[in-house]
Structures are given as C-alpha cells and as structure tokens.
Structure 1
C-alpha cells in the first residue's frame, strides 16, 4: 500500500511538472491532457484521478507554481536589500520561464478560482514584506501601501513581458525603487510605523540603494560616543 501511494505521488508530481511546462508555453485551451499524460508515460485518466479533470489540473498547476515561488523566497538568507534584489530576480525569472501561467495569475481576474489563488499568494507576499519592513505587526497604512507596490510590480512585469521596451535591469531598478519609495510614503502618512533594523541598515549612506534615489540625502550615521 505504501508503494502504491508513493507511485501515486510520483505520478501526481510528474504531472504537475509537465503541466507547469505546458501551461507556461500555451494557453489553457491549447493544452491536450492526453498528449501531456502520454509525454510522461502515464494514462490520461491519471489527471482525472488526481485532479478531477483538466480544470482542476490547471488550477493545481497554478497553485503549485505560486507555492514554488513562495518556498524559494522564504528559503533566502542574508541582508534585507540583497534578499529583496534576489527575490525580484526570482520573480522575473518566473515570469520569463512561465509567461502564460504568470499572465493567467496576474491578468485573468475574471476567473474567480484563478483570482482566489492570486489573492491568497499576493496577501501572503504583502504580509511578509510588511513584517520585513517593521519586524513586527504592520499597520493598515503600511499593508495598503505594500499591496499597491506589489500591484505595481505585477503590472510592470506584465507590461515588460508584452512589450520588452526596457531592459530587465531597468525593470528591477523600478521595482526596488518603487518599493522603498512606497515605504517612505507610508512613513510620512503614518508616523506609528517603526522600521526594522534590517530596513534601516538597507537605507544607510553606504547602501547601493541610494544610487536609485540620487536626490535623496544620505541618512545620518549614529553619533559616536565621545566619552
């Protein structure tokens, strides 16, 4: 029985991987579940068995892709700015590797089930960024501001994928600059927001972040103890 369960999980896992590849390159209606199942050597009925049909399979693929991105983010370690930069890179990598799935999650808001998956993972990302900024519970103003910044990032990357009018590096700079500008705006709107030490460190005078804000004065360094 254990062997059967393992085989079933391996089959499900293989289908999800094949589905991510298929739905990343083609639209929902262009994907044949019979051809997809045959490509990894399982019966087409396996999709109905594991996911209840093509529709359930599609939603499971989108959720698995979002979960994979989340797992990559939470496993990162290092200074705040470095993790933010690498996180943006992972986001861009995902958009490039899975353009159809990315577009479905970002743009297909008319589909209620897809929208539910999107909102669940957007909320998780927004909450995580807010905690990163404060190191504790965030305020409604900060959560609203960061939610707007996440929307900006999604819209910008979707525009970039469709037009390729600017370079990837410029897209990354815009996302990072917008995020910190959003945090600064939230601070001005809500004096109760207290920045975490990680974020303060990211915004000190030696930080490369300041190159994105040439008009912003350097933050003063703490006064030395002269005693």
Structure 2
C-alpha cells in the first residue's frame, strides 16, 4: 500500500470512528450506560459488534470517547464568537453550558458524578472541562486567560455551583432554560464584582445595558436597594 492509499485508509478509519461516536452520543444522550448493551449499540449503529471493539477496545472505552468528544464540543461552544462584547460572551457561555447539559444529559452526569466508575480517567475529563471553562470565562471577562490565583479560585467556586445547580435543573425541567441561565449570570456578576474587590487588576466588565433577565427586571445596580427596588 502506497502513501496515498494509507492516507485514504486512515481518513476512512477516522470517519468511521467519528460516525460511531456520533451514533453513541445520540444513544447515550438520555439513556444510562448500564441500560445499553454492546449488541444494542451495534444494532443502532448498523455495524458488527467487533468493529466497536476494534476502535474502542471495550464498552467503557467507547463511552469515555463519547464523553470526551462531547466535552470538547462544550468548551469550543463556550469559546465561540470572540468578536462579541465581553458581557454577551459570558451570557453565551452560560447558555451553551446549559444546552449541552440538557442535550447530553447522560454524558454530563458522568462528568459531574463520576458515572462509569469514578476513576482517574473520568476525573481527568472533568478537570479538563473545568480548566477550559475557567480560562474561557477569564478570556470573556478580562480579555486574557492570565489571572491571579484569587480570580481562578473564585471562578472555580462559581463553576462548582453551576454544576450542582445544573444537575438539579435537569431533574426539574419544568423551569425554562432561561431561568437557570439568568440566575447563573447574576451569580457570576456578583463573583466578578467580588474578584475585583480582592484583585483590582481584574476589573469586573460593565453590565450590558441591553440585557434583561427573563423576569423583566434589570440587573441590580451597585449600592443597596430597598424592598421596592428604589
């Protein structure tokens, strides 16, 4: 086999692997790991079971490849549209996160809860997601990923709140996505303001005057307000 033939075979192999991951993402979006057998997966994919073993070694290897592909998409979505105003990018990041969790619920629960055996591989995926999102948030808020330790600590604290709030929301999706989105954006605003207090070199981006939460109320300005909002 010459170089051109090898390159073609490699491209076809990668395409087949990508197709299997895409099929798996659909299957596992709402179905737990234990509920699907390899025979079920092969039947849905229209391939021999041995082909899945060839590419992924095991059912667990296949599932982890699906999770890694999913979270890579999440970080890419969060980092998209770099030309948007910073406050808009932060809002888009939060919305992209929630939509990902909603559309990839099984994979999301695996990332947060450990899923298929809480081990070093799953932990590494979760750590990579957290790091990628924290850097994306810093880029959106400050225009740089270089931030002091206090800023990183605060953003990680906010992200931990995001993870568990999202899990609760997934179990009670009678709330429209816009509700947790706006709640988390408000919480992030307070986090960014607090970071500025501890690290003046990280000024909180100005609020977007055109943004309104779904409650119809404007974000609270600086300073105390009484019960009437005055």
* Larger helix proportion of the pair: 1
CA distance 1:165–1:189, change in 2 (3 Å): farther
- TM-score normalized with structure 2 length: 0.82
Unaligned runs of 5+ residues in structure 2 are: 1-5, 224-230
Distance in 2 separating the partners of 1:169 and 1:2:
46
Structure 1, residues 180-224: CA drift from partner, whole Å, max 9, x if none?
A: 100111121233x333xxx53x426x353795532525xxxxxxx
Name which of 117, 126, 129 aligns with 2:125: 117
Q: Find the counterpart in structure 2 of residue 208 from structure 1.
A: 211
Cα deviation, 1:13-58, whole Å, max 9, x if unaligned, reads 1110011111212111111222222322222112211111111111
Size of the aligned set, in residue pairs, is 211
The answer for the alignment partner of 2:149 in structure 1 is: 140
Stretches (4+) displaced over 6 A: none
- Cα distance 1:120–1:12, how it changes in 2: closer, same or farther (>3 A)? same
What is the rounded CA distance, in whole Å, between the counterparts of 2:8 and 2:196 in structure 1? 56
Aligned residues of 2:87 and 2:140 also touching (Cα < 8 A): no
Could you list the runs of 5+ residues in structure 1 that have no partner in the other structure?
Answer: 218-227
**RMSD value, Cα:** 2.2
From 68, 74, 87, give the equivalent of 1:69: 74
- Deviation readout 1:136-185 (Å, 9 max, x if unpaired): 32000000000111111111111111123643222111110111100111
